[in-house]
Amino acid sequence: MTEELENLIELVREDILTLEKGINEQEKELKEILDHIKIGDSLFSIDLNYFGNLVNKYAFKVAPSDINNQSLDILKRIKLVEKIFFTKNIDKTKNIYTFDNPWGNSIPNTIILIYKLYYAIFKRYILSSEDIVEIFKDLLDQWNYTFNELKIPITFITHLPLVIFKGNYQLIKNLELKSVWPYIRLYDDPGAKKVYDKYIHSFFPIYMQYPYEKSFFDNNYAPYGVYLFFKTEISNQVERIDHKNFKYISPFFEDLKEEFKKILKNFYDLINVLYLYGYDFKFEDYTIEYPWWWYETPNLSKFETYYRKYNRILTMEKKDIEELQILYNEMDRSSLYLKNKIIANRYFQVYNRESFPDIILDSFIILEILLTRGKEMELSYRLSLNGALFLARDWSEFKRIKNVLKHLYDLRSKIIHGGNWEKKVIKLLKNKVFSNENDIIIEVKAILNRNFRKLNKLQITDKNLQNKLSESNFFFDHSNIMKR
């Protein structure tokens, strides 16, 4: 470690501790908010202008209007930051890290970088009590990696509305599940409420009167506080990475657009694995977290942040995490069906469609690909027979699955050929093949998932499986009941 780096780290450490002391002693409303947020997690942000003024007041001891009339103390920090963060490869005049500047053009880039550095350190230190020196080193490593390797670290964040668990779990490399429990209780402090409304950007709900209690879960309400974090990186070619703006990127960035699409596909593959495991939820979109110097706060407002009532809440335990890890590895190793673009897209739509006919059609597009190889004839017979042969564990289950698939294929045909499919559904319910429409969807998804999981296990042990299945019209060789 160079002498300049040691000096800067010590100055930053003293400034953060001074800032913390000032907030604890004189900013009671903000202190109360931060104390409540510690109980939850770090998905929040403080208005950068507000935070910069706090740094000026307690660490730099200057008025906001005097920041450009730099004292010797501030100049010392500026010179050290420029020596350490700006090398011959990183020009301090470039705007790549300053596109979100609440002060306009009146504040030098180096000062803005200092505010963002202090903000990133303060946030992690306050929430996790990590060592300030270690936080600083980690943030500097992120900075150097981005500019040396020309890769921008980004994190995709999505909400899992039907899942409940406590704690954080590393699902696979670069993929983490976090539970974020809302305990913001500011109803008895108007001052804190006012500061929260004005300067804190968060996913927390309006000021709860009580924390969650057991009765809350007994009523089948799912809290919104479980999120999936997928960490990845993208080439450092543009100032802002935003999926909604990618269609406007000029032809010069066409390679970057394709790179982003590949990353996005990997993200959706992860969602499909959750579906395959049995978690049935509507995907609510995603948001992106950017590197600390960009200060781009994840946009959590797109997620539905108030209570939602569901028919079923899924509690995730440690064993579920372990089983998910095994399943993901199986899917990745087999590189077979969910890696198929048509199947993966249709499978994702099965879990995110609102229309009953659309779910049936998407499901049977997949099932036809999986179960009706060879000649395009007798599709209903072959699909129902192959599905039953492949999945049934005994003769009774064989008859049930074959009957279900035949009825559902007939339903699919009425939908696609403009027949009276509603009448077909009524007949199925009347004959007690299914109890209701939702029961039909549950059965279709279960059949899809069992097919995927068995095919992927077979593919791991037999790399030539796909060719073998393509050469045969029927699945007799892979039937449990035929081996009895």
- Residue 128: the pLDDT is 80
For 394-430, how does the pLDDT look when each residue is reduced to its tens digit (9 = 90+)? 999 999 999 999 999 999 999 999 889 999 999 999 9
Strand 314-315 to 163-164 pairing: parallel
Residue 443 has pLDDT above 70, yes or no: yes
Quickly state the pLDDT bin for 326 (edges 50, 70, 90): confident
Residue 221 has pLDDT above 60, yes or no: no
What is the average per-residue pLDDT within 130-139?
95
- Residue 374: the pLDDT is 63
**Which letter does DSSP use for residue 291 in this model?**
P
Rounded to whole angstroms, how far apart are CA atoms 380 and 119? 62
Of the two residues 456 and 104, the one the predictor is more confident about is 456
Residue 225 tokens, joined:
């506080």
298 close to 288: Cβ distance less than 8 angstroms: yes
CA atoms within 13 A on the CB side of 128: 14
Of the two residues 272 and 196, the one the predictor is more confident about is 272
Rounded to whole angstroms, how far apart are CA atoms 310 and 219? 9
Residues in the chain: 484
Q: Could you give the angle at the alpha carbon of 199 between the alpha carbons of 224 and 183, nearest 5°?
A: 35
Specify the range with the lowest mean pLDDT, choosing from 22-36, 144-158, 221-235, 440-454. 221-235
Quickly state the pLDDT bin for 243 (edges 50, 70, 90): very low
Specify the range with the lowest mean pLDDT, choosing from 75-79, 137-141, 244-248, 442-446. 244-248
293 close to 142: Cβ distance less than 8 angstroms: no
- Residue 107: the pLDDT is 60
For 253-262, how does the pLDDT look when each residue is reduced to its tens digit (9 = 90+)? 566 777 888 8
- Residue 102: the pLDDT is 56
For 4-16, how does the pLDDT look when each residue is reduced to its tens digit (9 = 90+)? 999 999 999 999 9
Single out the residue of 414, 422, 410, 439 nearest to residue 402, CA to CA: 410
- Residue 426: the pLDDT is 93
Coil, helix or strand at residue 91: coil
Rounded to whole angstroms, how far apart are CA atoms 353 and 252? 35
Quickly state the pLDDT bin for 139 (edges 50, 70, 90): very high
Average pLDDT of the residues of the chain: 77
The answer for residues whose C-beta is within 8 angstroms of residue 3's C-beta and 6 or more apart is none
- Residue 202: the pLDDT is 66
Of the two residues 397 and 237, the one the predictor is more confident about is 397
What is the average per-residue pLDDT within 357-361?
95
Rounded to whole angstroms, how far apart are CA atoms 385 and 476? 10
For 49-87, how does the pLDDT look when each residue is reduced to its tens digit (9 = 90+)? 889 889 989 998 876 555 555 566 788 898 999 889 887
132-149 helix and 109-128 helix, angle to the nearest 10 degrees: 130
Question: Residue 151: beta bridge partners?
Answer: 235
Quickly state the pLDDT bin for 433 (edges 50, 70, 90): confident
Q: What percent of the chain has pLDDT over 90?
A: 25
- Residue 337: the pLDDT is 61
